[in-house]
Amino acid sequence: MERFLVPISEYEGPVMDSTYFLRKDGSFVFAEGYCHPPGAFWGMIIKYPLPGGHIDIFGREYGWTHRVIVDGELAIISPEQQVENQFKVDPGLRGRQGVKPVFARNFVRFPLSDFIGYFDARHSMKELRKEHEWIDTAVRKTCRLLNWNPEQTGVTGSLAYGKVEDDIDLVFIGTPEENAGVARTIRSYRAIHPEARVFELGKEWPLRFYYAGTLICPFFRYSAPEYIPLLQCEMEAEEEGVALEATVSDDIHNLYLPAIVGLTDLKREDGRPEEDLDLIIYNGALRGELWRGDRIRLRSVIVRVTTSQTGTFRAALVIGDRQVEKIKSLDLTRKEIHDKKMEVEDDYYQY
């Protein structure tokens, strides 16, 4: 693991979503989103040292905070319980949280001083491709399918710290438009090849797919800070528990944490008028779930958001994975699927 770990003294920031950090106690902490307190970040302990734990990481026993086995099946623990599990691992964390912004209710504040290092997505990818031929082959084939430069990829998940399993948490690092093009190709491929779709943890994952002999779990990261809508922001709750229906009008930032989509044709349950809004989804399980044309129902917090780039604006916020429901989904048309078949050679589709 040492050759994957970058000393925290070399960390220049800003804290990027989906980055793994290693605490001084040996815990692996996952950074959530791009808006963080000075000298700290919002995240979650994912794995922690636990004598007798069922996870082996380079000879040390670990436990999970975010998953549980129920009746022999793996299940995700609720976000609220995940937060409580953080304080069970380290009770001292509770007294260091302060007042949380509304978007961070399901995350925990970690000072950077708690860490000995972090795992750079690109660096880890280079090390893995040098050591494991099957990973290099799968990455090159997947990038060929998606018309993407393999050098503009990284990894997250356990691969970030060098623990190889049977899937690849593949990070695409590009502009919003470039990343959106990758997502469109993945959706088209899955539509053409439904056998490549992924069902696990009780749901179908909208962008995961089987290809090149493995399970590909895509993550998307902005290639430069200027592309990040909420790099640093202030957010205040204005109205809690607002139920409404709306149509997704813009999905260029739907692949990230937070996912941000434009909403139009809003109808509030209480009958009050509401203008078009952005919907901010601060829940990593909902990356890539909503697309332009989808009709959705949600229970949200109306918030007032302030950033240095855009000033102050109203938005809807959801942080729970059950706060958004699709009423109608605008799937790919037959023409879109046909066009994608013509664009990509059939032999690229072997997995």
Q: What is the pLDDT of residues 320-345, one digit of tens each?
A: 988 999 998 866 544 454 454 444 44
CATH architecture for residues 233-328 = Beta Barrel (2.40)
- pLDDT one-digit tens code per residue, 209-244: 999 989 999 999 999 999 999 988 999 999 999 999
Going by C-alpha positions, the residue among 58, 75, 57 that lies closest to residue 66 is 75
* Architecture of the 121-226 domain: 2-Layer Sandwich (3.30)
The segment with the largest mean pLDDT, out of 10-14, 94-98, 201-205, 250-254, is: 250-254
For range 148-155, the mean pLDDT: 97
Average pLDDT for 16-21:
96
Residue 226 makes CB contacts below 8 A (sequence gap 6+) with none
pLDDT single digits (tens) 110-151? 999 999 999 999 999 999 999 999 999 999 999 999 999 999
Q: Matching CATH topology for 121-226 and 233-328? A: no
- Per-domain residue ranges of the chain: 6-118, 121-226, 233-328
Cα separation, 256 vs 34, whole angstroms = 10
pLDDT of residue 348: 37
Q: What is the pLDDT of residues 254-311, one digit of tens each?
A: 999 999 999 999 999 999 999 999 999 999 999 999 999 999 999 999 999 999 888 9
Residues 6+ apart with CB under 8 A from 279: 246, 248, 260, 261, 262, 263, 290, 298, 300, 315, 316, 317, 318
